[in-house]
Amino acid sequence: MTETLALRPLRVGDAAEMAVVLSHPDLYRYTGGEPPSEADLNRLYGIQTRGGPADQSEVWLNDIVIVGDAQRAVGFVQATLPADQRSAEISWVIGRPWQRLGYASRAARLLIDGLRTRGVEQVIAHIHPDHEASQRIAQGIGMKASDVVVDGEARWVGFFG
């Protein structure tokens, strides 16, 4: 927990390193899918680094979670904000080798701090009911589970005022 952790904006050039970070099949146990290839991430990151759709109906914030002096990538956080930027749907993923080190909690807190600075008043996350680690992270940043279920995931909500 003493290692420096920071967020930095996603770059298309992160695809090779992130393909390794996201390569463990366990990461997809609750969300489905499979580990992306470097080519998949190149395409995805080319879209995500635009910052939002052409119609400007949303703002996309995508950050790489980096640790240590070498700024090694260990995961990512992201937020999608509607045009008014008063709320955000958030998510976080930390690669399997770096889990249980507190990185996800620290990264989520940094994401929340940045969103508050932007004037965001509400955050939403969708978490699988069996994903206890993500539930603990959500609780740690002030979110609470709601009764709403979307595609088998509980909606968690946090308010800041």
Cβ atoms within 10 Å of 146's Cβ, excluding its own? 11
DSSP H helical segments within the chain, as ranges? 15-21, 38-48, 103-117, 132-140
Tokens of 48: 């995500």
What pLDDT was estimated at residue 3?
Answer: 83
Mean pLDDT by 10 residues, the chain (161 residues): 88 98 96 96 97 95 96 98 95 97 97 96 97 97 96 95 66
Contacts of 72 (CB under 8 A, 6+ apart): 66
Question: What's domain 5-159's architecture?
Answer: 3-Layer(aba) Sandwich (3.40)
What pLDDT was estimated at residue 160?
Answer: 84
Tokens of 95: 């690669």
What pLDDT was estimated at residue 1?
Answer: 52
How much is the pTM? 0.94
Domain boundary assignment for the chain: 5-159
